[in-house]
Chains A and B, each alone.
Chain A
Amino acid sequence: MPELSPEDWSLILASVGHSQDKDAFAKVFHHFGPRVKSLMLKYGSNNELAEEIVQETFVIVWRKAALFDADKAAASTWIFTIARNKRIDVLRRQNRPEPDMNDPAMAQDPIPNSEEFVSGKERALAVQRAIAKLPEDQREVLHRSYFSEETHREIAKNLKTPLGTVKSRLRLALSKLRTLIDEDIGEGSI
């Protein structure tokens, strides 16, 4: 099977939502399930917990698939956010505070101007291109080092500044990333 593009995955995920397509769901599960599990292991979950998070994530993927909107998010990002929230739910028995798009007290987004509007799909692609251009050590900071046990031990030792260590490492990588994305899809988009 040729490798599928992010756009293909958006279409496949959308068809899970539109027509409860079980074959499409199986494709999504076989592709993203092992990746979600790998990420959870890297976050420090043991095998059993990582498996549980995968199960609960894909139960939600099936039940929420009709809400997936390819203009707002890439399929991988949508699945990532579900897995992230499930992890918090499973570990802390707690909901993660997040803004609710239906909240009447929410400050509305400016109406997307046709020239400046960047869809979730385009944004995710620009992000992937930018990450690829980052120096290796900075890519590592974004994806790995602060999940590692070593970082957590370090944080535990410096109880007074629990966020300090992680924050200073991230700052540089994120600033570089923003510059790259600005060059790609235009100033002010991040």
Chain B
Amino acid sequence: MTVSHHITDDLLYLYAAGELDFGWSLAIATHLAMCPQCRHRNAMFEDVLAASLEDEEIAEVHTSVDDILGMVQGLPSLENTPDVEVIEKPVFPKPLRDVAGDLKDIKWSAMGGGIKQKIIHEQDGVISRLLYIPANKAASSHGHNGLELTQVVVGGFYDGDQAFNCGDMQIVGHESPHQPLAMSDGPCICLAVTDAPLQFQNLLPKLFQRAFRI
């Protein structure tokens, strides 16, 4: 698996700083699991951020070292233990499995034309969904007000003249419509993270108005 569409510096840096919402972080962590190159860049950015620990002024800490040693008393060391027994190699990388389960666990909703989706996380207007596009099928064309990160976890797709293979991340900015077409050798499964259209926030009050005739 050779990844050719990577996470941009700015997004990766904000991820390393811990400044991104859950959904964006989920897409980035899934990409990192599939891309050693971006993992290396991520480690470098963590060094950059940590460097501010060395050259910054210091603040007074009221906790003593004995306080800390008191807190850890009786707590076990934390080990990095691998999963006890993996019978079958999972399809989804761990960050995605932690939220959605593995591919076999997904309860898809049909969207017509063999295309399926499953919303796996939603918070503060950021929606994470899995998309299943059968071979040679195209998802509906859509524009978007905000940012959309699409991480390929199975198969691959074309969008215009660009190919996105397993492991690649497509980053689509503001209002550029796009239409992913699954490659011919099998279905394509992507994790797509978007921010909800802004008008949605006004729609709910309107619905309430209608329902309650206020």
**Chain A residues near B (Cβ < 8 Å):** 22, 25-26, 29-30, 32-39, 41-42, 50-51, 54-55, 58-60, 62-67, 72-74, 76-77, 79-81, 84-85, 87-88, 92, 94-110, 120, 123-124, 127-128, 131, 142-143, 146, 159-163, 166-168, 170-171, 174-175, 177-178, 181, 189-190
Contacts and interface: CB of A to CB of B under 8 A. Distances in A.
Q: What 5 A-B pairs come out closest when comparing CB atoms?
A: A34-B58, A80-B50, A97-B29, A102-B82, A167-B10
Contact of B61 (A22, A54, A161, A163): A54
A97 B54 CA distance: 26
Given A62-B72, A64-B77, A127-B51, 7 more contacts: A35-B56, A38-B58, A105-B89, A128-B51, A146-B14, A167-B14, A171-B9
15 contacts: A51-B63, A94-B22, A97-B99, A98-B95, A100-B33, A102-B82, A105-B91, A127-B44, A127-B47, A128-B47, A128-B54, A143-B51, A160-B174, A163-B11, A174-B10
A107 B10 contact: no
Contact of B39 (A32, A80, A99, A160): A99
A32 B141 CA distance: 51
Interface residues of B, number: 78
A66 B92 CA distance: 29
Contact of A81 (B33, B46, B89, B167): B46
A34 B47 contact: no
Nearest to B20: A163
A84 B17 contact: yes
A34 B61 contact: yes
Contacts of A189: 40, 44
B33 to A, nearest CB: 4
A92 B124 CA distance: 12
B90 A104 contact: yes
A39 B17 CA distance: 11
Interface string B12-53: 011001110010011011101111100111011111111111
Contacts of B30: 97
A105 B68 contact: no
A63 B33 CA distance: 25
A51 B53 contact: no
A160 B196 CA distance: 10
A63 B71 CA distance: 11
Given A38-B59, A63-B78, A66-B77, A97 B13 contact: no
Contact of A55 (B63, B80, B147): B63
B10 to A, nearest CB: 4
A168 B173 CA distance: 13
B63 A33 contact: yes
Contact of B93 (A76, A99, A162): A99
